[in-house]
Amino acid sequence: MAVRRRASRTLATGSAISTLGSAGMGVASPLLVLFMTRSPILTGLTVAAGLIPPFLLGPLAAAMADRVDPRRSLVMIHMARILTSQTLGIAFLLVEEPVWPLIIATFLNACWECFRTAAEAEALRQFIPQDVFPEALARSEIYPKVMAIPGRVLGGVLLSLNAALPVLFDAVTSLASLAITLRLSRTGVRRASLPHRPGRSSRASLPGAATLDGLRIIGRDPFLGAAAIACSTAVFLVQAVPLLLLDTAVRQTMPPALIGVLFALPAVAGVAGWLAAPRIHQILPERSFLLACFLTWAPLLFVVSGTLRQPLTAMLAWAMCNFVGTQINVVLAVHRIASVRPERLGRVMRADRLLTAGATALGSLIAGYAVAGFGPRMTAHIAAGGTFAIAVLLAVFFLASRFLGNRSAVSAVALVPSVVRARWRSGQGEGGFIVVGRLWRRASVPRASSMVGGRAAADTPAVRASPL
């Protein structure tokens, strides 16, 4: 038992040290590209290069983690990261402005990080016994978030000293993680007994099959489906905010060390949100709580758009957005645990991560073009206004699903654009609210196919479905 506890701490320590270097490069890479090129497009491309691999390689990484010894995988991954850092260091010596080598290295490091996360999750499942598994799982969740705080600060401080120092620091942390992983291989711990997985066909074991099943489960749950669409859209919109703050700080000739400190504030708010979530999410029912989070997000984003010339105030508002986002993650996690069968919970979480990763990568890629085309202030207004529109649509869906049922709720959400058009038509002799009322009745009146025993199916008592 002592050996297994030591293995758990060793695994968490290696993950924390690796996260320290990754967080430093996560701040230094886009900041360095922006310093060299002054181009929001290339800076957004650099950020997107670090976010695309989880979307593209997530199912493949999970499938490989199921088939390869995670300790061997971690050793190979850390060696690949060291090689990538060394190659990037050589590029700094040979090229005056290594923009494209930096973007390629960011993409490769994100690939290794994707495989590392999947291998560590599988190592926890295989080598940690059930009695210490909750402790190990909590440690693996909180350590990377905590280590991201000093990692971002160190990334900015090292960049202010020399452009190549963050790359060297990433190589050193990868080497330290490799040494710790080799120590894990010598602990002599054996795989813990795993529950049998019945009925795993060859099709179900293909990469992506479990993710598709998770997407189907999310689509069948009204709350998870609405939350997935709303959160993915909001995440896509708000990816412009970090780029705006970074661009504003560089325009004001703020030193990189101070920029690193500012970008550590959202990480601090995220950790505080995880610690406060067990008490906060019980204040309201889950639907009301999710809606309240989105209604809180929108004003904070308007504060960001209005205080772009004051980076500290804007960053504090963005940090509060991260605090609220953590509460959304917690309320969704609680709902998943309560409504999804344990053997299918991993598939739902994997599908949810895929949606978030895709929205994050696409938003970061388009954010650079939006800043270059519309300007920082207009881009911030678009992100804030879009988030407020999502909150309105979410409120309409939740209210309509409560009184009319889920199918009519979808029709009610589709009517929202008609509300706007009806307001314009109100000046042509027909009241806007009359038009909306007619459209609402048209969507909510049951058709003949939806009648059960002479009355609407929505009026019949709902049959409680079994857990997914």
Instruction: Tell me what the pLDDT averaged over the chain comes to.
Output: 79
Give Dmax (Cα) for the chain: 82
pLDDT of residue 408: 46
Residue 203 has pLDDT above 80, yes or no: no
Break the chain down into helix, strand, coil percent, rounded to 5. Answer: 80, 0, 15
Domains 1-185 and 208-403 share a fold: yes
* 247-297: pLDDT as tens digits: 889 988 899 999 999 999 999 999 998 888 888 877 888 888 898 999 999
Residue bearing tokens 């609210």: 433
Identify the band that residue 72 occupies on the pLDDT scale cut at 50, 70 and 90: confident
Identify the band that residue 425 occupies on the pLDDT scale cut at 50, 70 and 90: low
Identify the band that residue 426 occupies on the pLDDT scale cut at 50, 70 and 90: low
pLDDT greater at residue 101 or residue 345: 101
Which pairing describes strands 455-456 and 451-452: parallel, antiparallel, or unpaired? antiparallel
pLDDT of residue 385: 92
pLDDT of residue 150: 93
Q: Which helix (H) or strand (E) holds 456?
A: strand 455-456
Identify the band that residue 207 occupies on the pLDDT scale cut at 50, 70 and 90: low
- Name the least confident of 61-70, 81-90, 212-221: 61-70
**SS3 state at 206:** coil
Q: Where are the domains of the chain?
A: 1-185, 208-403
Q: Hey, what long-range contacts does 438-441 have (CB within 8 A, 24 or more apart)?
A: 439/415, 440/412, 440/415
Question: Across residues 178-198, what is the average pLDDT?
Answer: 59
pLDDT greater at residue 374 or residue 129: 374
Does the structural domain 1-185 have CATH classification 1.20.1250.20? Answer: yes
Beta bridge partners of 456: 451
* 401-410: pLDDT as tens digits: 776 655 544 4
CATH for 208-403 (3.40.718.10, 3.40.1800.10, 1.20.1250.20, 3.20.20.210): 1.20.1250.20
Question: Across residues 226-252, what is the average pLDDT?
Answer: 91
* 23-57: pLDDT as tens digits: 999 999 999 999 999 899 999 999 999 999 988 88
Q: Which helix (H) or strand (E) holds 455?
A: strand 455-456
pTM of the model: 0.78
Most confident of 85-94, 133-142, 190-199: 85-94
Residue of 177, 51, 185, 181 whose CA lies nearest to 109: 51
Identify the band that residue 200 occupies on the pLDDT scale cut at 50, 70 and 90: very low
Q: Give the type of residue at 148.
A: A
Question: Across residues 303-313, what is the average pLDDT?
Answer: 90
Q: Which helix (H) or strand (E) holds 340?
A: none
pLDDT of residue 131: 61
